[in-house]
Structure 1
Amino acid sequence: MSETGSTVPRRQLGRHLRDLRLQAGMTMPEAARLIERGTTTLQRLETGQTNKIRLLDIRELCSVYDANEVVTAGLMGLAQEASGKCWWHDFGKLIPADFDVYVGLEASARRLTSYAPDVVLGLLQAPDYTRAMVRSALPGASSQEVDRRVDVKQRRQRALTRKRQPVELNAVFLEGALRRVVGSTRIMSAQLRHLADMSTLPNVTLRVLPNSAGIPLGDPIGLFTVIDFGMDKKGEPIEPSVVYLENLTGCLYLESQDDVRHYHDAHGAVQRAALDETTSRSLLRQLAREYAR
């Protein structure tokens, strides 16, 4: 893999390999010995610091860790995808559609800065809202599959409520996303009450960009999240920040610091045009009451 290539796939591959090893109860030297590689090689794999990844090593590690077929295919795909300064992840191509690449980044983040013009962010979705979204996207899905996807979304939300270093979330919602009925008015009422409640957490900042604010940047922008990983003891970034853009057929990950700065600036513009936190919370509760009538 080129040194100029995206680091996101390598970092995600390393996270999954480390998690699988720990779940298997193995030390790094034990795992390295089982695949007949050096401990340093495995360490570089787990930290995303290697540009030369042998697919055979990944397959053997997945076998040693007893990873299932979806995870194995996902890790094999990650090992192959790092060809440019930004990374376009096609859903269902090298990486299976059921293997969620973004979740690992989200769980490792210290701060998430998001703008949501059309839909409530996954981290803030109430179960019935998620269920309605899944059923619209996958009308042929079984009840078990729907429940599984709802459970995944709910488990992701623990990042906001965990006791040790909960993720900081600073999100702006376009008012239209809150007035768009997903499922039913009952579901929307519960969803907006949930948003208002979540906004009281000390690590969560939610603001509503009212329709009356127009288009603060002059051009419409879609859903995005800037993922920051915090600083180490020397004041250096633990990992490079990433911009996450989700589309119908895949996701784009931008790592250029110019891109990261551009999206932070864009978020700052919509945040300045948005209602303050208290007024936003009041609007959420007002809309929840209106839906409940």
Structure 2
Amino acid sequence: MPVRSHVTARQLRLGIELRKLRERASLSSTEAGRLLGTSQAQISNIEASRVGVSADRIRTLARNYSCTDGALVDALVGMASERPGGWWNEYRETLPTNLIDLAETEHHATALRVAQVINIPGLLQTADHARALFRESVPALLPHEIEFRVSHRIKRQSVLYRKASPFPYTAIIHEAALRMQFGGPATAKAQLEHLMAMSELSNVTIAVIPFNGASFPTSGHGIDYDYGPVTQLDTAVLETAHGSALIDSAARLEKYRLTLDRMESAALGSNQSRELIHRIAKDL
């Protein structure tokens, strides 16, 4: 297969998971190449996602690596069979790569759970709220750069409106985020009203942690946890000052699942959360 001109987040993840299988089998890339009837360089290229890999080769590699997890192998075959491209590619020349990777990861997730302490989750933001946030970026963004980011953020929200397979989405939001008035009172009120409307969707759950709620673990960073078809293919996305970081380590994924569990246990139920959002909006 030809060498790729650019590698997507999904292609990189496939290579990473194949490398994990090989390392679990305690095989070197040279040994793996010999078993496959190819070279060490070809195995390295596959694991670095510089070249594609067929479904048959993935199944052969899995057998060579003594992987008996059929669900994982099927999921990896599915990743290899995906057609390249998606709506996010139209932004590849105008937005940072981490934003493209974020949209692609969300698109392929089976469910999403997020936690935010200061900000409203991106998939629940109105265009005006998002625009107000981007205007405060450091360094400052030009007007057209802000609009590219707003457009990208709104298009990401399409995962919440899938008709064929509704996308289960749980947002854990601290009361502090609800009381931030980015863009001024009118924009903040419209944002809260939008949250209440979104909470009525059957696939969306909004849970608010009140100021007087129980303590919970957090670093202050937002956490997006994208569930894959199997647990091994979950992805945690951390928001940092330098952009989004995608986490695939099993130990770290377990840590973030437990963190989200504890944050959700500290939150109000859906009805109480909706009532609190309504009271805050009423005061604006």
TM-score scaled by structure 2? 0.66
After TM superposition, give the deviation of residue 199 of structure 1 in Å.
0.7
**Aligned mates of 1:53, 1:272 — CA distance in 2:** 39
Q: Which residue of 2 aligns with 1:187?
A: 187
Whether 1:71 and 2:67 are equivalent positions in the alignment is no
CA contact (8 A) 2:12 2:48 kept: no
Compute the displacement of 1:271 (Å).
Answer: 1.0
Structure 2: give runs of 5+ residues left out of the alignment.
1-6, 15-44, 52-84
Given residue 245 of structure 2, which amino acid in structure 1 is its aligned partner?
L
Is the alpha carbon distance of 1:108 and 1:70 closer, same or farther for their aligned partners in structure 2, counting shifts above 3 Å?
A: closer
- Amino acid paired to 2:108: S
- Is 1:171–1:207's contact at 8 Å kept on the other side of the alignment? yes
Matching residue of 1:272: 265
Q: With CA pairs under 8 Å and 6+ residues apart, which has the higher RCO, 1 or 2?
A: 1
**Is the 2:127–2:150 contact (alpha carbons within 8 Å) kept by the matching residues of 1?**
yes
Which residue of structure 1 lines up, in the alignment, with residue 38 of structure 2? Answer: none
Is the CA contact (8 Å cut-off) linking 1:118 and 1:177 kept in structure 2?
yes
Asked whether 1:107 is paired with 2:103, we answer no
| 1:222 equivalent in structure 2 | 221
In structure 1, C-alpha distance between the alignment counterparts of 2:134 and 2:153, rounded to whole Å? 11
**Residue-by-residue CA offset, 1:99-144 (whole Å, 9 max, x unaligned):** 5211100111111111101101110001110111111116854443
Whether the 8 Å CA contact 2:113–2:171 is kept in 1: the answer is yes
Taking only the aligned residue pairs, the percentage that are identical comes to 27
CA-based RMSD of the aligned residues comes to 3.1
Aligned residue identity for 1:51:
E
CA contact (8 A) 1:110 1:166 kept: no
Change (3 A) 1:160 1:10: closer
| Partner AA of 1:244 in structure 2 | V
Conservation of the 8 A alpha-carbon contact between 1:228 and 1:240: yes
Deviation at 1:279, TM superposition (A): 0.6
Q: Does 1:50 align with 2:46?
A: yes
What residue number does 2:119 align with?
119
Deviation, structure 1 residue 283: 1.1
Counting matched residue pairs gives: 212
**SS at the partner of 1:288?**
helix
Q: Which runs of 5+ in 1 are unaligned?
A: 1-6, 15-48, 56-64, 75-91, 231-236
Q: How does the TM-score come out when normalised to structure 1? A: 0.64
| Equivalent-residue separation in structure 2 for 1:226 and 1:117 (angstroms) | 15
Q: What amino acid is the match of 1:278? A: N
Matched-pair contact (CA < 8 Å) for 1:120–1:177 = yes
Q: What is the distance in 1 between the residues matched to 2:90 and 2:107?
A: 23
Shift of 1:202: 0.8
SS at match of 1:212: coil
Kept in 1, the 8 Å contact 2:8–2:101? The answer is: no
- 1:31-66: per-residue Cα shift (whole Å, max 9, x none)? xxxxxxxxxxxxxxxxxx9315448xxxxxxxxx9x
The answer for the alignment partner of 1:77 in structure 2 is: none
Write out per-residue CA displacement over residues 164-186 of structure 1, whole angstroms, 9 at most, x where no aligned residue: 22321111101101111111011
Q: 1:166 to 1:69 in 2, by over 3 A?
A: closer
Corresponding residue number in structure 2 for 1:130: 130
Aligned to 2:279: 286
How much does 1:257 deviate?
Answer: 2.2
Deviation at 1:71, TM superposition (A): 3.5
